[in-house]
Structure 1
Amino acid sequence: MQKFFLQQADNGVWFGMFPHLLRKGIVHGISTRLGGTSLPPYATLNLGLHVGDDAERVRENRQRFCQALEIEAERVVNAEQVHGDKVFLVTDRETGRGARDYAGAIKGADALITNSPNVPLMLFFADCVPVLIVDPIHRAVGISHAGWKGTVAKIAQKTVLAMQRHFATTAADCLVGIGPSIGPCCYEVDEVVLSKLKENFIAWRDLVEPSGERWRLDLWQANRLQLEEIGVPSGQIVISEVCTNCNTELFFSHRGEKGCTGRIGAVVMLQME
């Protein structure tokens, strides 16, 4: 079964999707860096308003990406993304927060959940892990930004648990897509990261491989493992297995481009019934 695929919209924007999330009432997508207006080093479909790019170009890029997914760009809800573990409950009142300016984004949050239709949740990435979560039974969705700090703090797991509290979501019903991000092939970490991993994962040895005086960390499997711990079935968690550092022609990579680059966006939304 195909895990993740890219396609080109009529407006030239390339984006990726998970086949198991393609179901009635759910819209989702993960952008690439192709099909936008930004100039180097943000070329071309940079969606981040906080990285130094021209704001009007970014707004145009967001319009193009949203048009490709047939969602309304002005309704998108963004988070500040501070590499924490705060999950924010989005309602209709938050519609449009951060859509046009970074200052308007949800403060201090790295994950968003909602059961409100026509409220797109969008976060931004350049090596960190996008985690898309769909509860097709109770009609709720969530999205997490899982860098190493968020991953070791189990933000993806906390996102599902928040959906349980607010929407009566059952972990066994959840469908999860783990999007393009830096892979275990390229992600070397130091003792500081390793010590945090040891504190939070009993099976931490399964998530790292020695690499000289450092370790290669598998963020994909760390996010899978924390979701399985609370009952999300392994077969319902799909990892794209696309490394952003290995594929800078398609995706932005903070590490691969030495910190000066754009951001892809991942979005998930419930449609009106």
Structure 2
Amino acid sequence: MSFSLISGKKNNLWIGKFSIFPEDCFVHGISTRYGGVSHGAFDSLNLGLHVEDDADAVKQNRDIFFEGLGLSKGSGVTCQQVHGDRIAVVSREQAGRGMYDYSTSIPDVDALVTNVPELPLMLFFADCTPILLADPVTKAIGVAHGGWKGTVASIARKTVQRMVEEYGCNPRNILAGIGPAIGPCCYEVGDEVVHQFTDAFPEFIQDILTNEAGSNRLNLAKANRLQLIQAGLEDNNIDMAGVCTSCNNRQFFSYRGDKGRTGRIAAVLSIR
């Protein structure tokens, strides 16, 4: 298994890909900063409509990214991402929601699931953890936003459970990709966060939290991986990018690395 950046051929576009997802079943990609038309703090492929970038530039960036993935422009679905644990089941009728107008995004949810072919799910990130889930047996997918609040609320595990409930997925068949996110090298957290994670995950807190010279460091990506294993996924069905967005903020937007004013990368997953 591996995660690598693939050239989009046009516009200096580069797309992150996981080897675990079969290309004949699914279309997926993680965007980088490269290949767009935005400027300044949002240079250049900012895909977030909610970060004070020029809206027309963001719309053009989304079209560039979808074209690079071979997806129909404007065909995706997005949500508002409020750092919670609610999950929306997406139908064909919701195609296009949030693609060009943030106010039409599905409100108050942080994960999307569907079994509708050619209906791309798209979520946005700048240090939080992208979680992509795909079941090649039932042809169902999910994408989740794992910030610290969503992670401590078990958004990854709950998204798997929703796929089981809605589509009859067997967790042992589900493939997962955990995308670039802030790593423990850069993610210092306060006592409030430490206490919440200790209460939520006493069984593996030692694996995700370290203390170095009085500094608490949290491994968000690993916390989500362990949640997926708890949910029944096979360990060898989980692919990890292993890339810190803060360390690599020239490649990926990073809220911490860019001091709070930055764009958003996107994770997209669709059924062929």
Which of the five TM-score ranges fits, normalised by the shorter chain? over 0.9
Please report the RMSD computed on the Cα atoms of aligned residues, expressed in angstroms.
0.9
Provide the identity percentage. Answer: 46
Which residue of the partner structure matches residue 46 of structure 2? Answer: 46
CA contact (8 A) 1:76 1:95 kept: yes
Give 1:261's aligned residue: 262
Q: What does residue 9 of structure 1 align with? A: 8
Question: What is the distance in 2 between the residues matched to 1:172 and 1:229?
Answer: 11
Deviates more, 1:31-40 or 1:200-209: 200-209
- Displacement of 1:46 in angstroms is 0.2
Q: Distance in 1 between matches of 2:22 and 2:259?
A: 35
Aligned counterpart, 1:105: 105
Q: Residue type matched to 1:131 in 2?
A: I
Counterpart residue number, 1:188: 188
Shift of 1:16: 0.5
SS across alignment from 2:192: helix
Residue 238 of structure 1 corresponds to 239
Q: Structure 2 CA distance, aligned partners of 1:142 and 1:181?
A: 18
Find the counterpart in structure 2 of residue 129 from structure 1: 129
TM-score scaled by length of structure 1:
0.97
Separation in 2 of the partners of 1:180 and 1:207?
16
Aligned equivalent of 1:89? 89
Shift of 1:25: 2.0
Answer yes or no: is 1:64 the counterpart of 2:64: yes
Shift of 1:212: 3.2
Question: Is the 8 Å Cα contact of residues 191 and 214 (structure 1) preserved in structure 2?
Answer: no
Q: Report the equivalent of 1:119.
A: 119
Displacement of 1:114 after TM fit? 0.1
Say which SS state the counterpart of residue 251 (structure 2) adopts.
coil
The Cα offsets for residues 146-193 of structure 1, whole Å up to 9 and x where unpaired, read as: 000011111011000000000001110010000001011111111100
Specify the SS of the correspondent of 2:33: coil
Aligned-partner SS, 1:21: coil
Contact 1:128 1:148 in 2 (8 A): yes
2:207 is aligned to 206
Structure 1 CA distance, aligned partners of 2:270 and 2:57? 24
Q: Quick check: 1:188–1:211 contact (8 Å CA) kept in 2?
A: no
Gaps of 5+ in 1: none
Gaps of 5+ in 2: none
> What whole-Å deviation, never above 9, does each CA across 1:70-119 have from its counterpart, x for those lacking one?
10121110010000000100010111000001101000010000000111
Mapped to 2, the partners of 1:181 and 1:65 lie a distance apart of 20
Give the deviation of 1:198 after TM superposition.
1.1
CA distance in 2, matches of 1:122, 1:169: 21
Question: Hey, what's the Cα distance between the residues in 2 that align with 1:185 and 1:152?
Answer: 19
Runs of 4+ in 1 over 4 A off after TM superposition: none
